[in-house]
């Protein structure tokens, strides 16, 4: 589904991604772990063109999305993103947050988008909050709304950047449960996370990033039981 070839990214001449080669297949759930500053967010942001790569290519279903002619909105329609800090629009209600993009991009009429928002909000038990503003919601509610907002576009891939890192501990579970459900429905996912238990349980593959490179990757059981790279061993000894 996504083929990443020798991807590099520099900020003001400072290399942050140093030649990443990866293939993400349909239905895979790829967890990315690694120390702060290793380039995890930058890598995710390149995948839906929130950052412009400095070098290399990203093929989405065979099409080079780093080419100048790429329709960035078309890419983002298929590759949704969920952020650490939710990024809900504070001046819009929950319902408006969910319906804005599909209506503005003319993917759905307002009526269709409203009906879909109702279905999604009922699913997560927050239909009664449809006309509430985000500031009135808990962190866990905000993040679950951000997830269904991404789902309202019917994406083919969802990217999650530390979706539970900004939450109070008692709200982590409800968000992970929703992500787990979406995973079980077959969504292709890439998840940057510090939740090692979740990565082990949900991911089909785990990648370790350090200094802008993928240093190691494996199926979760082997990844955690038999880490090869010394830096990964040191990292796991601190977080597990
Ligand atoms: P991670 O998500 O693994 O913590 P990031 O991808 O956020 O890492 O950052 C990797 C490196 O790139 C860091 O050194 C960070 O300071 C730098 N960086 C990220 N975004 C920018 C930016 N917009 N401008 C300059 N430097 C950036
Ligand atoms: Mg990050």
- Helix, strand or coil, per DSSP, at residue 174: helix
Neighbours of 171 (CB within 10 A): 18
pLDDT tens for each residue of the chain, 240 residues long? 999 999 999 999 999 999 999 999 999 999 999 999 999 999 999 999 999 999 999 999 999 999 989 999 889 899 999 999 999 999 999 999 999 999 999 999 999 999 999 999 999 999 999 999 999 999 999 999 999 999 999 999 999 999 999 999 999 999 999 999 999 999 999 999 999 999 999 999 999 999 999 999 999 999 999 999 999 999 999 998
- Ligand 1 pocket, CB under 6 A: 11, 16, 34, 36-42
Residue 6 CA, ligand 1 centroid: distance in Å: 18
Strand positions, DSSP E, 34-140 = 55-60, 63-64, 79-82
Residue nearest to atom 5 of ligand 1 (CA): 39
Give the mutation target among 37, 47, 51 for probing the ligand 1 site: most ligand atoms within 8 A of CB.
37
Give the mutation target among 7, 12, 15, 16 for probing the ligand 1 site: most ligand atoms within 8 A of CB.
16
Give the mutation target among 8, 33, 39 for probing the ligand 1 site: most ligand atoms within 8 A of CB.
39
- Helix, strand or coil, per DSSP, at residue 116: helix
pLDDT (tens digit per residue) in 195-238: 999 999 999 999 999 999 999 999 999 999 999 999 999 999 99
Q: How many residues can be counted in the chain?
A: 240
* pLDDT of the residue at 189: 98
Q: Is residue 202 within 8 Å of 196, Cβ to Cβ?
A: no
Which ligand has the nearest atom to the CA of 210?
Answer: 1
Residue 41 CA, ligand 2 centroid: distance in Å: 4
ipTM exceeding the 0.95 mark: yes
Q: Which positions ≥6 away from 234 have C-beta within 8 Å?
A: none
pTM of the entire predicted model: 0.97
Report DSSP state, residue 130: T
Residue 162 CA, closest ligand 1 atom number: 2
* pLDDT of the residue at 202: 96
Residue 221 CA, ligand 1 centroid: distance in Å: 29
């Amino acid at each position: 589904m996504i083929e990443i070839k020798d991807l590099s990214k520099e900020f003001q001449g400072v290399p942050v991604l140093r030649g990443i080669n990866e293939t993400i297949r349909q239905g895979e759930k790829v967890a990315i772990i690694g120390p702060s500053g290793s380039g995890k967010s930058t890598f995710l942001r390149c995948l839906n063109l929130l950052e412009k790569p400095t070098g290399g290519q990203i093929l989405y279903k065979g099409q080079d999305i780093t080419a100048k002619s790429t329709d960035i909105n078309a890419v983002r329609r298929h590759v949704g993103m969920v952020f650490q800090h939710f990024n809900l629009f504070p001046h819009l209600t929950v319902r408006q947050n969910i319906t804005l993009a599909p209506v503005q991009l003319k993917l759905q009429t307002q009526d269709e988008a409203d009906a879909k928002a109702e279905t999604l909000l009922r699913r997560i038990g927050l239909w009664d909050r449809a006309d509430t503003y985000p500031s009135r919601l808990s962190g866990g509610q905000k993040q679950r709304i951000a997830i269904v907002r991404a789902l309202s576009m019917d994406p083919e891939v969802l990217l999650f950047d530390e979706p539970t890192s900004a939450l109070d501990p008692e709200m982590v579970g409800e968000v992970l449960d929703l992500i787990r459900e979406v995973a079980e429905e077959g969504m292709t996912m890439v998840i940057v996370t510090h939740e090692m238990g979740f990565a082990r349980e949900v991911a089909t593959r785990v990648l370790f990033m350090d200094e802008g490179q993928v240093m190691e990757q494996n199926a979760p059981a082997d990844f955690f039981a038999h880490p090869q790279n010394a830096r990964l061993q040191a990292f796991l000894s601190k977080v597990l």
